[in-house]
Amino acid sequence: MIIAVASGKGGTGKTTVATSLARIAADKLSTDICLIDCDVEGPNADIYLKPRISGTKLSTQPVPVVDSEACNICGKCAEVCAFGAIAVLPDRVLIFDDLCMGCGSCVWQCPENALSEKDHVLGEMREGSTSTLAFAQGRLEVGRSRATPIIRNLKKWQIRPERNAWYILDAPPGSACATLEAVRDADFILLVAEPTPLGLHDLSLLVGAVREGLGTNMGVIINRSRGRDGPLEDYCLREKLPILARIEFSREIAAAGAEGQALDEVMPQIRQTWEGLLGDIQ
């Protein structure tokens, strides 16, 4: 079972929900629970869970390197690269590692065998555990621009059938490639939204992207709820999105979150909500 926790915009409380849900799942369910922090540009689930890190691994992607002795500047590699990662100049070939998707086409198609591959470091992946659950996290290296490959590598590293675990994924905020990569294999997506015009706008973008690209089942958790969340509720009704939980607007919760306290520590009644939700998803 893979549950992804996503939000259309940052600062909505997605990590607060993901970490608290993982803690309760680890208490309630007999299966192993693994929280994977896929928000690789700003990972912070470790602040709430305080895991002991037991291993790290570099996340890499193959990129081409050119042997200038063998290259005859034919231009074929730039022609086949659909991502504009190669420029062929009159006297040399330039490769832009950050634009490369690692597809290998240029290497295969080079008539002079002048291209080979090297590993390009994207960032670091870490794994560890708390007393009740497993934990993993990716961190994009400073200066790297693409989060998607490291998220893919992180999921491949951690999500293995023989583990027989439940995975709770903290996805990057937004509705672009990195978010969709994180939620792609999920059995269920929990959408955390706040009842503001901007929150509703960004939620609708995410819902549209998921429906068009993935079609996964989704439900909404309203954070900073005022009790009656008018336009957001209307939207959920119209889009047939069940509202699965509400987290009240509370200064105490915000302050505790800023101190790195898990939601269920400051709001113990959320346990019942998460248990019900896990039961429904199960």
Q: What is d(CA 47, CA 51) in angstroms, rounded to the nearest whole number? A: 9
CB of 68 to ligand SF4, least distance (A): 8
247 binds ligand SF4 (CB under 6 A): no
Pick the closer one to ligand SF4 by CB: 42 or 96: 96
**Which of 270, 242, 247, 280 is closest to 24 using CA atoms?**
270
Among 33, 81, 232, 266, binds ligand SF4 (CB under 6 A): 81
Place of tokens 């503001």: 196
Place of tokens 């439900």: 219
Kind and range of the H or E run holding 278: helix 270-281
- Return the SS3 of 165: strand
CB of 13 to ligand SF4, least distance (A): 36
CB of 122 to ligand SF4, least distance (A): 14
CB of 94 to ligand SF4, least distance (A): 11
Q: What are phi and psi of 52, to 5 degrees?
A: -90, 120
**DSSP letter string, 178-211:** HHHHHHTT-SEEEEEE-SSHHHHHHHHHHHHHHH
CB of 86 to ligand SF4, least distance (A): 5
Give the number of other Cβ atoms within 10 Å of residue 64's Cβ.
Answer: 25
CB of 62 to ligand SF4, least distance (A): 7
Pick the closer one to ligand SF4 by CB: 90 or 268: 90
Segment contacting ligand SF4 (CB under 6 A): 46-54, 100-108, 131-139, 219-227? 100-108
Angle at 229 between CA 271 and CA 231, to 5 degrees: 135
Write the binding mask 104 to 123 for ligand SF4: x where contact by CB under 6 A, - elsewhere.
Answer: xxx---x-x-xx--------
Among 34, 100, 186, 262, binds ligand SF4 (CB under 6 A): 100
Among 86, 140, 241, 267, binds ligand SF4 (CB under 6 A): 86
Among 88, 214, 254, 256, binds ligand SF4 (CB under 6 A): 88
Non-local CB neighbours of 190 within 8 Å, separated by 6+ positions: 3, 4, 5, 6, 17, 21, 218, 219, 220, 221, 244, 277
Write the CA distances from 170 to 180, 200, 281, integer angstroms: 12, 20, 17
Pick the closer one to ligand SF4 by CB: 73 or 214: 73
* Sign of the alpha-carbon dihedral angle for 70, 72, 75, 76: negative
Write the binding mask 40 to 79 for ligand SF4: x where contact by CB under 6 A, - elsewhere.
Answer: ------------------------x-x----xxxxxxx--
CB of 152 to ligand SF4, least distance (A): 15
CB of 118 to ligand SF4, least distance (A): 11
Q: What are phi and psi of 206, to 5 degrees?
A: -65, -45
Chain residues that interact with ligand SF4, rule: CB under 6 A: 64, 66, 71-77, 80-81, 83, 85-86, 88, 93, 100-106, 110, 112, 114-115
